[in-house]
Amino acid sequence: MDAKLIADSATVAEDSELGQPVKIYGNAVVEEKATIGKYSVVSSHSIVGANSNIGNYCTIGANSKISVDIATPQSFFSTHSFQYSSKHFKDVKNYPKKNASPDTPSPTIIGNDVWIGANVSICKGVTVGTGAIIASNSFVVEDVPAYAEVSGNPAKLVRSRFNEETISQFLNSAWWELEPKDMSDLDFQNPLESLERINSLKLHLKLKNRNSLEGELKNSVSGTNSGIIWFSTPYAYADMDALEGVNAIKVISHEPGTGPNADVLSAGIYPLAKSTYDSKRGWYRLNITSDGSQFKGKIAKNKLTFQLVTDN
């Protein structure tokens, strides 16, 4: 991808989550609490609405809108928002905001490897399955199956890209967890052959990741003020379950860095309170316990050296 990943004229909410990398073109908007997976592209003047969840390797065409709000309470006195928004009554003393808000729709979910054409609108609460294609100028009001092609206003099924058996193979492969460099020698014009090779490729990368996790590690991807240990490896994306057998870390060294709340972890064994994998960023996350309670101190980036261990 282009080194300039987010255009200067794009607007990205601070609490949105972007995978590594994501390309955002000029005048595009990513609203609060939206998540976008790695290698996805948001074209110019498009809007990714609040709370939207977009997978890896997705392409969103220009002037498209994800999570369009078209709902209004049909059984209320009026269709207008004054019924459930107190901002219309700021001049009314002691106005009690009525509990008449319409139901909040579920988040809009876009699977992996979804292609969305230009000038597409996808309504709030819609789920678009992995591998789907949304034709330009479509208005999507209903869920779209995986590997379906839809078109129109409202969007209707045109065809399925593959038969059911092949679609199942695609979904089971989860190839979108890989990096493009790992798939460079696949024959992309032969999907079935590529699918056969993906499984052996993922196993190979998983073994490489396990080898990477056996040595000394650092919190190499991010620091934190809340005691969280963030780290990754070049192959973490291929092995999301690698921490299942780990229940502690062995701290080798810890430099506190600068600033307040910079407690030092002395060398020794620290049980895990929690371990998770962030699929959007390809990072592992560890919460540890110290002296019987969860550690909350500052851990500056690249200042903690540790090993993953199983403590009996």
Catalytic residue among 80, 88, 204, 254: 80
Annotated catalytic residue 88: no
Q: Is the pLDDT of residue 58 over 80?
A: yes
238: nearest Cα among 198, 275, 184, 274: 198
Name the token pair of 230: 């963030």
pTM here?
A: 0.77
- Domains of the chain from N-terminus onward: 11-69+105-165 (2.160.10.10), 217-309 (2.40.30)
299 burial level (CB within 10 Å; 0-12, 13-18, 19+): buried
Phi and psi at residue 45, to the nearest 5°: 65, 15
State pLDDT tens for residues 4-49: 699 999 999 999 999 889 999 999 999 999 999 999 999 999 999 9
Alpha helices (runs of H) in 124-242, residue ranges in sequence order: 164-173, 191-213
State pLDDT tens for residues 216-225: 999 999 988 8
Residue tagged 């989550």 (tokens) = 17
State pLDDT tens for residues 61-105: 999 999 987 666 667 777 777 776 666 777 777 666 555 556 666
User: Please, what is the Cα angle at 232 between 182 and 184, to 5 degrees?
Assistant: 5
Predicted confidence at residue 98, as pLDDT, reads 56
Specify which residues 39 forms β-bridges with.
none
Query: Rounded distance, CA 110 to CA 41, Å?
Result: 13
